[in-house]
Amino acid sequence: MIEIAIHIAFVLVSSALALNAWRLLRGPSAPDRILALDTLYINTIALLVLFGIHIKSALYFEAALLIALMGFIGTVAMCKYLLRGDIIE
């Protein structure tokens, strides 16, 4: 039963990633693209967690944690760049 649920979830999360990629390519504005990247990294965490349950290994937790930390910093840096034209003042 869990296996079926995980397969359904894989399909849904992968489609979500495809939708994000579409928004990333299409734009139209810079904040739109940053928002797409932000959603992309959160969905990647979802995919990694699902994969961890699928192969019954807790190893992928560290990768998910690192993606969460780095993704947030990336989003903040890009927003800061749009706001100020500079990241470190």
Partner 1 sequence: MSPWLEALLSFLIVLGALLTFIGSLGLARLRDFYTRLHGPTKGTTLGVGSLLIASSVFFSVQGEGISLHEVLITLFLFITAPISAHLLAKAALHLKVESLVPLPDEAIARKNSQHRDYQSLD
Q: Does the footprint of partner 1 cover residue 17 (CB under 8 A)?
A: yes
Q: Does the footprint of partner 1 cover residue 63 (CB under 8 A)?
A: no
Element spanning 80, H or E: helix 60-84
Amino acid symbol at 48: L
Look at residues 39, 45, 34, 43 and name the one whose alpha carbon lies nearest to residue 68: 45
Give just the sign of the alpha carbon dihedral 66, 67, 68, 72: positive
Residue 39 CB partners (closer than 8 Å, separation 6+): 16, 20, 23
What is the smallest separation between the CB atom of 89 and partner 1, expressed in angstroms?
13
Choosing from 58, 59, 88, 89, the residue that interacts with partner 1 (CB under 8 A) is 58
Q: Does the footprint of partner 1 cover residue 70 (CB under 8 A)?
A: no
| Contact set with partner 1 (CB under 8 A) | 1-2, 4-6, 8-10, 12-13, 15-17, 19-20, 22-23, 29-32, 34-36, 38-39, 42-43, 45-46, 49-50, 52-53, 56, 58, 61, 64-65, 68-69, 72, 75-76, 79-80, 82-83
